[in-house]
Each structure stands twice: as C-alpha cells, then as structure tokens.
Amino acid sequence: MSKEVTEEGQSRKDYVDPPPAPLVDINELKLWSFYRALIAEFIATLLFLYVTIATVIGHKKQHDACNGVGLLGIAWSFGGMIFILVYCTAGISAQCLGAICGVGLVKAFMNHEYTTLGGGANTVATGYNKGTALGAEIIGTFVLVYTVFSATDPKRNARDSHVP
C-alpha cells in the first residue's frame, strides 16, 4: 500500500525571500541595542572560554583519574556552556574580543598551570599525524555546520522531519 501525498491548499513556495540587507548599516552604530548586543556577545564568549579552558586545565592538573571532572566533565562543560550562551546571545557578534579576554582571564588566574599544561589546547594523539588531525577537524566542522544550517534553514520544506 502506498501513501499518496497531495499538496492541497499549499502554495508551491511557502517562504518569501526578504529584501537584501546592507552589509554595513551606519545607522545601526547609533542604536543602544547594537552596543547592548555587543556587550552580551563579549560576556558570553568570555565566560565560555574561561569556564571551558579552566575545566581542561583542572582535568590535566589532576593525577588521579577518579579525582576531578574527567573527560565527561569537560564534555558537559563545553556542551552546557555552548547551549546556554548560544541560546542567550544568538545572532550577536563580538566573539573575538570576548575570546581573547576569556583566555586572558584564565592565564591571569592560573598562569603556572596555563603555561605548564599547554593552555588547555588539544594535541594530536600518538599514532596520528597533523594531516590526519586536520582532516578530522575539517570533516567534524563540516558535519556540525551542515547540521546547524540544515536545521535553521527557513526555506526548508521538510519542517516536521527529524532528519536535517
């Protein structure tokens, strides 16, 4: 038995493209909401990097595997912070300055650990080369960006589908 799908009462195109917005709008620089959004994005990125890098450094500082946050703690730290901060400040951009200040705070408060433990940076595991690591990063980033763009595309027809 096949299920027949008909488009009764629906137009062929259920989305109308908005007019193009200018790349730089000088009038926006006069609005308080613009600066409020910049401050929110700055604080969000600062908090994200401060909490997550401090968590990674805290994990690397522990010598006992059962004494500390562990790898799942790091994953929850990154996931929770991204969820909360993106939810609160989506669509605002002041990330670069917030990232620099967030890392600067970690370095200011934990300078010795930051320097000796590599600043919480990822390293390539033994047995893999830098090319393989770069390829994995490119593929992982592509999958993440593709999923987000697919889920948030307003022109998408399959709105009730669970598959992007």
Q: What pLDDT, in 10s, does the model give residues 24-69?
A: 778 888 888 888 878 887 888 788 888 878 877 777 777 776 666 6
Q: Is 126 exposed, middle or buried (0-12, 13-18, 19+ CB in 10 A)?
A: exposed
CA distances from 143 to 35, 73, 138, 140 (A): 33, 23, 9, 5
Identify the pLDDT of residue 10.
Answer: 53
Closest CA to 85 of 122, 129, 140, 48: 48
Q: Higher model confidence: residue 136 or residue 152? A: 136
| pLDDT range class, residue 146, cuts 50, 70, 90 | confident
| Out of 11-20, 53-62, 117-126, least confident range | 11-20
Mean pLDDT of the chain, nearest integer? 75
pLDDT, position 164: 43
4-13, 33-42, 50-59, 112-121: the lowest-pLDDT one: 4-13
